[in-house]
Amino acid sequence: MSAHSVDGIGMTSRRTRQRLIDRLREKGIDHPRVLQAMADTPRHLFVDEALASRAYEDAALPIGYQQTISQPYVVARMTQSLITTVKKHTRVLEIGTGCGYQTMVLSRLVNLVYSVERIGPLQVRARDLLYDLKVRNVYLRHGDGFDGWPENGPYTGILLTAAPSQVPDALYEQLAVGGAMVLPEGDRHAQRLITITRTADGYERFEGAWVNFVPMVSGKI
Ligand code: SAH
């Protein structure tokens, strides 16, 4: 991959990207490192070439297999919740790698990212792209996120990019004391952003904005 394609031109240029960052700031994203991570992540490379000119619109876009790349505002919002709830993240588990966009944003902000994707071809595509983009602190697995990734836990942060109807038990267990989990929870029609923190005494739950994610589905394909 050439530096030229990472930098982008025209509708994918740094300038177009900066307009998206201004928009995120207007919508309440104020954490400087989160804004920087969003600015540094070339979203146009995570979507099909035919959609690259729309990559810096604040909208979800299709990535194949009936899945979507999340809306930048929602990626920034969830990332900001995760980052501001915990003082220092050593390891973060993401469920739903998809094209790897949210994965790369996280990789700029925490030491290690572990990410699980159930659809094999999406996982392979994300792996190759993140490798080309020289993202080296990310470990990817083809598996079912309902099981989490127990071998590397507990995690200071867990972020889901697909919506379960209820938080899976395995993920509660793999959250470190002092850690935070951010997810969309609900059915296909009504989901809310939830933040769960784990203290020495148990779990605390905060309910946030209404959102619209693809459902979390069990089993890998
Ligand atoms: N993180 C992506 C969003 C991808 S959409 C981004 O940055 O844009 C959500 C992803 O979650 C899809 O790729 C879907 O296949 C995956 N997914 C759904 N259920 C899952 C499960 N049980 N385990 C792992 N991944 C799952």
How do residues 140-176 score in pLDDT, each as one tens digit?
A: 999 999 999 999 999 999 999 999 999 999 999 999 9
Domain residue ranges in the chain: 3-211
pLDDT on residue 122: 97
| CA distances in angstroms from 214 to 60, 76, 119, 130, 164, listed in the order given | 11, 17, 13, 22, 9
Atom 4 of ligand 1: nearest residue by CA position: 98
Residue 21 CB–ligand 1 contact under 6 Å: no
CATH 3.40.50.720 fits 3-211, yes or no: no
Atom 17 of ligand 1: nearest residue by CA position: 96
Residue 68 CB–ligand 1 contact under 6 Å: yes
Atom of ligand 1 nearest to the CA of 218: 22
Residue 175 CB–ligand 1 contact under 6 Å: no
pLDDT on residue 4: 55
User: What residues are annotated to the active site?
Assistant: 70
pLDDT tens string 17-64: 999 999 999 999 999 999 999 999 999 999 999 999 999 999 999 999
Rounded Cα gap, residues 78 and 102, in angstroms: 10
Going by pLDDT thresholds of 50, 70 and 90, the confidence category of residue 110 is very high
Atom 2 of ligand 1: nearest residue by CA position: 98
Range in 8-12, 32-36, 97-101 with the lowest mean pLDDT: 8-12
Going by pLDDT thresholds of 50, 70 and 90, the confidence category of residue 8 is confident
SS3 132: helix
